[in-house]
Structure 1
Amino acid sequence: MTSRAEHRRDLGEFLRSRRAATSPDAAGLPVAPGRRVAGLRREEVAQLAGVSVDYYTRLEQGRHASPSSAVLDALARALGLDAAARAHLHDLAGPTTSRTERPVVQRVRPAVHHLLDSLGEHPAFVIGRRTDVLASNALARALLSDWTALPARQRNYVRWLLLDPAARALFPDWPVLAAEAVGTLRLDAGRHPEDPLLNSLVGELAIGCPEFARWWSDRRVHERTHGTKRLQHPVVGEVTIHFEALALTGEDDQTLFVYSTEPGSTSADNLRLLSSWAVDTDPATRRRSRSPSS
């Protein structure tokens, strides 16, 4: 359970971490010769946000319970926060519940399952709360991992990325992607601080991944909207994909990820080869083809 004091402490630590990561140059402040502080000083943040130094200090120390939205927006501007970090700041400053949340069982609509299967040439999957993998098509399982072969509690994107040695080998830029994924998990923790499954996952990652504690304590947040990833696949070799993250309207905390490649590229050829291989080898597809309801 997250107490009100812990909620205030999380807000203070997030502000302190962002202040330390924001340079005077980035904030538009002159840099005096011989300055020893790489980040901003408290009085500088207070000045930029238009609040008193004492008020801002109490926020960082967890001694102020409910800053207004206007103050939070001013602090976000002063610290140069992006949209995800700004939303996280508001989440941390929001009211906290008095009891632990009950675990939420998320389900994907049948029509979304059909949509995933229809995207045969594009790896696609649905991510839910705490980055749980709720559904995927055959090509996504062939390209990344067959989450359907795992117990339900272990079908989690960040858990796979950080704890499975095959994931480290799959991504040449693994440290960058893994740190960003931890930032996504941190974003979810701000929205659902009393989620017991998320807290259990954080504990598992802290034990199983040497780098996790450093990334988690850094308190950076990251929202995956679109981007590019490089993969070194054990079957087809190098694949560079572009991804788009699409929120599924009508469902809380469900995001559809769709991967694509540049037309005519080697990556497109390799993904097409993998698609042919996946049709013949995917266990989930074979199970559905044998089902009487198919």
Structure 2
Amino acid sequence: MTRRHLYHLAGLNPGLEPHPTDAQAHPRLRELLQQSAPCAAFVLSPCLDLLAANPPARAVLSPLGEHPNILRALLTRLPQSVFFTDRQAVADACLSALRENATHLPDDPGIQDIIAELADRSPGFTAMWQQTESAVPFRACACACAATVLHPVTGPLTLTYRSVGVPAAPGQRLVVGAPAPGSRDAEALTFLTAMTAPA
């Protein structure tokens, strides 16, 4: 039983910060992140903790909290109808990514912790996790995919996401979400970024 799982059994939440072993995004991914504006770009750890985000991504993901884990937010924190309009598709993609990371990084403590935590806290996690054993590997699904969020400031916001990793940081992924040029979504992302920028 992992330390994080013991915390949750005690009613505590150690998951507000990224796992210590994953707490730094790789410098190359940070460099790519900084070059991604005005798109929304963020870096995920092998256990899908948010390690870094540019201002547009921080604005888009702000309803998830300061240091979210994407799967934890999807499966334990968000009401069923809130934020992602196709919640199951996003959850499936995240579970496939976590499954691949668990296969290639079997001793990663962050991955072990989040699996144990979600098995305890999310009623549907175990069944969904078992289904990923026969799913198409995440790397084969790394083409662009669109996802829509219902943001409390802008309303529906659709971005097309792509992800990339670097060999020097196994399991870390830079995810970049771009709106269609000239669309309402592009205007909404620009507005949202400006609204949430530090004064």
- Bin for the TM-score computed over the shorter chain: 0.7 to 0.9
Render the CA deviation track for 1:104-124: whole Å, top value 9, x for unaligned: 445224564354345331110
Superposition pairs for residues 70-149 of structure 1, below 5 Å? 104-105=21-22, 107-110=24-27, 112-113=29-30, 115-145=32-62, 149=66
1:167 is displaced (CA, Å) by 8.2
1:227 to 145, 149, 153: 145
1:169 match: secondary structure: coil
Of 117-126 and 134-143, more deviation after overlay is shown by 117-126
CA distance in 1, matches of 2:118, 2:54: 26
Of 227-236 and 110-119, more deviation after overlay is shown by 110-119
Alignment length (residue pairs): 176
Flag the 1:172–1:210 CA change in 2: closer, same or farther, 3 A.
Answer: same
Question: Aligned-pair RMSD on alpha carbons?
Answer: 2.7
CA distance in 2, matches of 1:116, 1:269: 21
1:190 aligns with 2:72: no
- Contact 1:182-1:212 at 8 Å conserved across structures: no
> Larger helix proportion, structure 1 or 2?
1
- Contact 2:43-2:51 at 8 Å conserved across structures: yes
- Contact 2:41-2:177 at 8 Å conserved across structures: yes
CA distance in 2, matches of 1:109, 1:176: 27
1:177 aligns with 2:94: no
1:208 to 121, 136, 159: 121
> Larger strand proportion, structure 1 or 2?
2
Render the CA deviation track for 1:92-137: whole Å, top value 9, x for unaligned: xxxxxxxxxxx84452245643543453311101122122322111
1:264 to 182, 187, 194: 182
CA distance in 1, matches of 2:114, 2:27: 28
- Contact 1:143-1:274 at 8 Å conserved across structures: yes
What amino acid does structure 2 have at the position aligned with 1:272? Answer: T
1:162 aligns with 2:79: no
Instruction: Report the counterpart of residue 252 of structure 1 in structure 2.
Output: 170
Q: Taking CA–CA contacts closer than 8 Å with sequence separation of 6 or more, which of the two structures ends up with the larger relative contact order?
A: 2
Identity of aligned residues (%): 28
Instruction: Report the counterpart of residue 274 of structure 1 in structure 2.
Output: 192
- Contact 1:162-1:168 at 8 Å conserved across structures: no
2:47 match: secondary structure: helix
1:279 match: secondary structure: coil
Flag the 1:148–1:110 CA change in 2: closer, same or farther, 3 A.
Answer: farther
- Contact 1:123-1:260 at 8 Å conserved across structures: yes
CA distance in 1, matches of 2:45, 2:105: 13
Render the CA deviation track for 1:27-52: whole Å, top value 9, x for unaligned: xxxxxxxxxxxxxxxxxxxxxxxxxx
- Higher Rg: 1
Gaps of 5+ in 2: 2-19
1:243 match: secondary structure: strand
1:140 is displaced (CA, Å) by 0.8
1:241 match: secondary structure: strand
- Contact 1:160-1:167 at 8 Å conserved across structures: no
